[in-house]
């Protein structure tokens, strides 16, 4: 009987000790998440919509968890105040022009509060100070925008398909150019005539240069061109002399 009682007391003691250990570990974990064992300071911000943000969600600055959401309170029908507890050693990096925004820890993760970086010349925030906020983009608004984009893409796709059907059927200017062989042949013949006309024009110009009546005109034109080239060459030579003198 005494042996049975002793075993029961031992197991009871182990159970109580295990429960106390679990309680201490839980207090430590919760306290660490709530920054109960670290010096903290408080900031506040107001939002029109907190988009699912909850008390205890993390606060990030420069991608690092620096605090937690301490309290969320509805002020009026258009304002929700969010109180933040942030580690004291981060205060010197948070400036008065920083903004608080609501984001997500991942595609389907918990909501988090993100503090953006401020300017270097702005003063450091004080304990209990309120900072400005950026309203979050709701998932419903994103989905609505995507639906509008998809509908527009469908309309454009249908119009392109209709145009291609008309082109393949020989309708319209492009369709006739592609499908009608007679138009294509006429276009090719027109291009050949243009080439012949251009070649004939070059031949006429060459003949005109050797013509007695027009030879003086072309000689004057050639001399003017050469004179311009000589002037440009002289200017470049003077510039080069100036550059050489400066180097010496």
Q: What is the pLDDT of residue 8?
A: 66
The answer to whether residue 180 scores a pLDDT higher than 70 is no
d(C-alpha 111, C-alpha 82), whole Å = 13
Q: What is the pLDDT of residue 204?
A: 55
Q: What is the pLDDT of residue 20?
A: 79
Share of the chain above pLDDT 70, in %: 65
Task: Tell me which of 5 and 217 has the higher pLDDT.
Answer: 5
The token pair at 114 is: 């993100």
**Cα 50 from chain centre:** 24
Average pLDDT, the chain: 76
Q: What angle do CA 102, 103, 108 make, to 5 degrees?
A: 135
Q: Are 109 and 67 in contact (CB under 8 A)?
A: no
Q: How confident is the model at residue 47 (pLDDT cuts 50, 70, 90)?
A: very high
Q: Where are the domains of the chain?
A: 1-33, 39-136, 180-209, 212-248
- Using CA atoms in the order 196, 201, 206, 209, what is the torsion angle rounded to 10 degrees? 170
DSSP states of 31-83: HHHTTSSS-EEEEEEEES--TT--TT-EEEETTEEEEEEEEEEEEETTEEEEE
- Using CA atoms in the order 92, 94, 97, 101, what is the torsion angle rounded to 10 degrees? -170
Average pLDDT over residues 169-188: 64
């Amino acid at each position: 009987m005494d042996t049975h009682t002793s075993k029961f007391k031992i197991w009871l003691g182990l159970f109580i000790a295990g429960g106390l250990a679990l309680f201490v570990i839980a207090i430590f974990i919760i306290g660490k998440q709530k920054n109960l064992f670290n010096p903290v300071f408080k900031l506040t911000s107001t939002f029109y919509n907190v988009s699912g943000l909850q008390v205890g969600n993390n606060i990030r600055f420069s991608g690092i968890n620096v605090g937690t959401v301490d309290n969320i309170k509805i002020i009026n029908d258009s304002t929700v105040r969010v109180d933040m507890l942030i580690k004291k050693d981060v205060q010197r990096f948070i400036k008065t022009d920083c903004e608080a925004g609501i984001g997500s820890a991942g595609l389907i993760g918990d909501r988090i509060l993100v503090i953006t970086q401020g300017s270097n010349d702005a003063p450091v925030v004080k304990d209990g100070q309120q900072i400005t906020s950026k309203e979050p983009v709701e998932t419903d608004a994103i989905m609505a925008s995507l639906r509008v984009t998809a509908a527009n893409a469908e309309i454009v796709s249908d119009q392109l398909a209709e145009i291609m059907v008309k082109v393949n059927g020989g309708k319209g200017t492009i369709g006739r150019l592609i499908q009608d062989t007679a138009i294509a042949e006429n276009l090719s013949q027109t291009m050949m005539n243009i080439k012949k006309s251009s070649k004939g024009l070059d031949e006429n110009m060459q003949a005109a240069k050797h013509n007695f009546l027009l030879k003086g005109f072309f000689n004057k034109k050639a001399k003017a061109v050469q004179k311009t080239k000589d002037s440009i060459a002289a200017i470049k030579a003077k510039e080069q002399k100036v550059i050489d003198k400066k180097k010496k």
